[in-house]
Structure 1
Amino acid sequence: MVRSNIIDFLVGDIDFLKQKKSIIKNREVLSEDFVPERILFREEQLNITLTSIRRFLIFGEGLNILFFGNTGTGKTLLARYISKSIKKLNLKEKMNIKTSYVNCKGFFIKEADYYIIGKMYSDITGDRFRKGKKKYEMFESIINYMNSKDYKAIIFLDEFDSLFNKKNTEDLLYALIRDLDIEYSNRFSLVMITNSVSFFDELDSRIKSSFSSFVKVNFPSYKATDLSEILKERAYLALEEGSISESLINYISARVAKHHSGDARVAINVLKLSALIADSKGKNKIEKEDIDEAFENLDYDLLKFIVSSLNTTQKILSLALVEGSLRKKDEYISFEELYNMYVEISSRLSIAPLKRITVFRNMCNLEMIFGSFLEVRTVSEGRRGGYKKIYKLLIDEESMKKLYDLLRDKIFNA
C-alpha cells in the first residue's frame, strides 16, 4: 500500500512537471558564453577597437589594444562579439583573417605559457593541439602558416594579468608583445583584457614599457538604466512572454547598480536564478520574493568570482581583511593594520612585500571590486592631523569563514 502511494505520488509529480511550462524558453541566452547580435552601451569601445583593427587590416599597422575595467563591464563580451563577427565575415567574404581567443586564467599556471601557445596554434593553423609539441615548434608553425597563406591574425588574451605569477609566463607575454609588435607587426594584432590596471605597478620595466604603445580602451561600470535595457533584451529572448514585469527588471538593475558596481554578469545571473526559483515553486511569473531569494544565494558565488579575478597582492590583502574581520568582529580595520598583516603573510610565502603606496593602490582597487561587500570610511587622526581609511567587510560570518578558507587555498596552494 505504501509502495503504491509512493509510485502514485511520483508518477503524479512527473505528469505535473510534463504539463508545467517552464518560465525559461532559452537557457543559452542567460549563460555567460552567450554573445548577442548587438552589444548595448558599448558603441564607443566598439568603434575605437574596430578603427584600430581596420588600420591593421588595411595598412598592416600592428596596433595593439588594451581593454580594462571592472568585472561585468562587457570587455569579454565585446572581444567575443568581434571575434565571432570576423569569423562570419571571413566565411562570407573569404578574407584572410584568423582570430584566437584565449582565456589566460583557464590554464594550470605552471604550464600556462605552453597551453596558451597551443590554443593559438590550434585556432590559427586549424591543426589539433597535441601535448608533446615544443613551444618554439608551435610558434614557428604559426608564423610559417601566416606567411605562406598571407594571413593576418587578431589574438585576444583575456585576463592576461593572471600570467604575472610565474617567470616563464611573464617571459611568454613579453616575447609575444615584443616579437609580434616588432618582427611580425604586419601579421598580428593583440587585444589584451584585464579587470584592473593596478597590476602594472608590479611589472618590471621591460614589460611595462611594452604597453606604452597600446590603444587603451576603458569600460566604465553600467548604470541602472543600462542594466535595465540589457535585462529587457535578455528576458525577451530567454523567458516566456509576461513572466517578469518591467518594474521587477528595474528592481534587479537598481540593486545591482547600487550594491554590485553595475556588474552585468551579476544582473543576468540574478535574472536566471529568479526564473529557476519561480519555476521550482510552480509559478508562471517571477515575483519580488524570488528575486530577493536569488540575491541571497548569489553572494558567496559572487565572492568566489571576485577572488578568481584578483592578483596576488590583492589576494593577500583580502586574506588579511577577512582574517582581521573574523578576529575583530564588528570593528573597523585600518590600512596600517592591513599593511602589517600583508607584510607578515608575504614573509610566510617568501614574497618580498611591495611598497606601501603600491599596496594602498591595490587596496583602492579592492574597494571597487568588493563593492557593497566592503564598507570604507575616511576618519580624522585627531591631534596627529590628517586622515586615514578604515574598512569593514559586510559579509555574514559563515560566508566569511568560507572566503577565508578559499583565499588560504588560493594563496598557499597555488
Structure 2
Amino acid sequence: MARSNIIDFLVGDIDFLKQKKSIIKNREVLSEDFVPERILFREEQLNITLTSIRRFLIFGEGLNILFFGNTGTGKTLLARYISKSIKKLNLKEKMNIKTSYVNCKGFFIKEADYYIIGKMYSDITGDRFRKGKKKYEMFESIINYMNSKDYKAIIFLDEFDSLFNKKNTEDLLYALIRDLDIEYSNRFSLVMITNSVSFFDELDSRIKSSFSSFVKVNFPSYKATDLSEILKERAYLALEEGSISESLINYISARVAKHHSGDARVAINVLKLSALIADSKGKNKIEKEDIDEAFENLDYDLLKFIVSSLNTTQKILSLALVEGSLRKKDEYISFEELYNMYVEISSRLSIAPLKRITVFRNMCNLEMIFGSFLEVRTVSEGRRGGYKKIYKLLIDEESMKKLYDLLRDKIFNA
C-alpha cells in the first residue's frame, strides 16, 4: 500500500471513529470502584450494620462487625457505600467521625502490617504516610489524634482473612481486635470483610475467641431477578438508551445466576465486555452474539479473580485439583487423592498440613467459589459402605495450563 493510501486509510478510519457514537456513555459506572447512590437487595445487611454503627456513635459501644459471603455478593460495595455516606455526612453536619478503608489483599509483602497501619494513619489523621515511621509511633499518633479531637473512627478491613498466613499480621489483627475492643472501644469500631468463614478453622484460639463478640452479617448470593434489576440500573446510567434490550439483560442475569453463583461483579463485567465488543464491531445495539463472546472471554479473567480471593489452603487445593485434572484428563479426582497431593505440596512449602476435616471444609467452600467450573459428585464406595465426593474441573486444557502456572506462581513465589 502506498504511503498516501496508508494516510488516507488511517485518517478515514479516525474520521469514522469520531463520527461513531459509542454505546458506553459513562465507563465509570461499569467499573468495580463505582459506588451507586443506592444499594439494591441489601437493605437487611445495611440496616443491621447501621444499627450497630448508630449504637457505637451515640452510646460509645464498640460493636465490631463481620461481613461474610461469597465473592460478588455486595460486601465491599456496602462497605464503600457506608464509608462514602459517612464522609458526606461529616462534611455536611461537621460530625467527629473518621473512616478508613483498607483492602488487605493488596499487601502481599512481608511488612503488610506496617503498611496497613500506615493506611489507617493516613486516613484518620490526614497526614501523609511516609516510610520510616515506626508502627507503634503511628498507632500512638492515631490514638492521640482521636482523643485530642474527640473523634470516633470506623475501620473497614476488606479481605482481612488473607493476612492470617503472615505471622506479623496475625499479631496486628489480634492487637487491633483486643486493644481497640478493650482499651479504646469508645473510639473505634471494626468492620471486617471476608469471602469465607472456613478460615476460622485455621486460626489459633486467641484470635478465634476475639471474634465471638462480633455482629455477623451474612451476604447471600444474588438471584437472577436481583441481578436483572442491578444490571438495568447500571445499563441506564452507563449505556446509551436502547443499546440493550431487557430480554438480553435477563439472559446475562440467568447465566450468571446459574453458572457463576450469582456474582454481581461477573454480571457487570459481562455487560461491560458486551458493550465493548458491540462497539468494536460498529454496532449501536448489543446483540446476543456479543454477550456470548463476552462470556467466552470472561472465563480465564474470572479464574484469575477467583485465585486472588483464595486463602493459602484453598490455593494449594486448587493447584492439586488442576495438577490432577491435567494428569487424569476427563477422569474424576477423589478427595483422598486431593488431600494426599495437598499434604505433598504443603511439605514442599515447609507448611504443616491441616487436619483432614479442615481441608475438607475448605474444599466444600471451593465448590461454591468455583461454581460451574467444578463438577462435584457424591458416589457410593460399594461394599465398603458410605459415600465419597469426586471432582472434575470443567475448564478447557489451555485455560487449565494457564491456571496451573498462575497458582504455582502465587503459591511458590508469594
* Alpha-carbon distance in 2 for matches of 1:5, 1:366: 56
Instruction: Give the TM-score normalised by structure 2.
Output: 1.00
User: SS of the counterpart of 2:242?
Assistant: coil
**Equivalent residues of 1:104, 1:116 under 8 A apart:** yes
Q: CA deviation at 1:284?
A: 0.2
Where in structure 1 do 4 or more consecutive aligned residues deviate above 3 Å?
none
CA deviation profile, 1:274-295 (whole Å, cap 9, x unmatched): 0000000000000000000000
8 Å CA contact 1:87–1:99 kept in 2: the answer is yes
Percent identity among equivalent residues? 100
Q: Measure the CA separation in 1 of the matches of 2:167 and 2:347.
A: 19
In structure 1, C-alpha distance between the alignment counterparts of 2:18 and 2:311, rounded to whole Å: 47
Task: Give me the whole-angstrom Cα distance separating, in 1, the residues matched to 2:83 and 2:348.
Answer: 43
Q: Cα deviations across residues 103-122 of structure 1 (Å, max 9, x unaligned)?
A: 00112331110000000000
Cα distance, 1:392 vs structure 2 = 0.1
Q: Where does residue 66 of structure 2 map in the other structure?
A: 66
Are the aligned partners of 1:273 and 1:294 in contact in 2 as well (CA < 8 Å)? yes
Per-residue displacement from partner, 1:28-82 (whole Å, max 9, x unpaired)? 0000000000000000000000000000000000000000000000000000000
SS of the aligned residue for 1:212 comes to helix
- Please report how far the alpha carbon of residue 246 of structure 1 lies from its aligned counterpart in structure 2 after TM superposition: 0.2
- For residue 334 of structure 1, report the CA deviation from its aligned partner: 0.3
Would you say the 8 A contact 1:76–1:158 is kept in 2?
Answer: yes
Report Cα offsets for 1:164-215 as digits up to 9, x if no partner. 1111000000000000000000000000000000000000000000000000
| Alpha-carbon distance in 2 for matches of 1:390, 1:279 | 43
**2:310 matched residue in structure 1:** 310
- Secondary structure, aligned partner of 2:111: helix
1:349 and 1:159 map into 2 onto residues whose CA distance is 23
CA distance in structure 1 between the partners assigned to 2:32 and 2:337 by the alignment: 38
CA-atom RMSD, angstroms? 0.5
**Any conservation in 2 of the 1:109–1:163 contact (CA below 8 Å)?**
no
Secondary structure class of the residue paired with 2:378: strand
Unaligned runs of 5+ in 1: none
Q: Deviation digits for residues 75-105 of structure 1, max 9, x if unmatched?
A: 0000000000000000000000000000001
Contact 1:109-1:166 within 8 A present in 2 as well: no
Shift of 1:3: 1.1
Q: Which residue of 1 aligns with 2:191?
A: 191
State the Cα distance separating 1:5 from its structure 2 match: 1.1
Q: Normalising to structure 1: TM-score of the pair?
A: 1.00
- Give the match for residue 179 of structure 1: 179
Structure 1 Cα separation of the partners of residues 308 and 110 of structure 2: 17
Q: Deviations over 1:111-146 (max 9, x none)?
A: 110000000000000000001000000000000000
For 1:165 and 1:354, locate their aligned partners in 2 and report how far apart those are by CA, in whole Å.
13
Give yes or no for contact 1:152–1:187 (8 Å, CA) kept in 2: yes
1:204-260 CA deviation, whole Å, 9 max, x = no partner? 000000000000000000000000000000000000000000000000000000000
Asked whether the equivalents of residues 151 and 187 of structure 1 are also in contact (C-alpha less than 8 Å), the reply is yes
Unaligned runs of 5+ in 2: none
**2:398 aligns to what?**
398
Shift in Å, 1:2: 1.1
Q: Please give the alpha-carbon distance, in whole angstroms, between the structure 2 residues aligned to 1:225 and 1:355.
A: 40
| SS at structure 1 position matched to 2:110 | helix
**For residues 287-340 of structure 1, what are the alpha-carbon distances to aligned partners after superposition, in whole Å with 9 as ceiling and x for unaligned?**
000000000000000000000000010000000000000000000000000000
In 1, Cα distance between equivalents of 2:261 and 2:318? 18
Tell me the distance in 1 between the aligned counterparts of 2:144 and 2:108.
28
Displacement of 1:346: 0.6
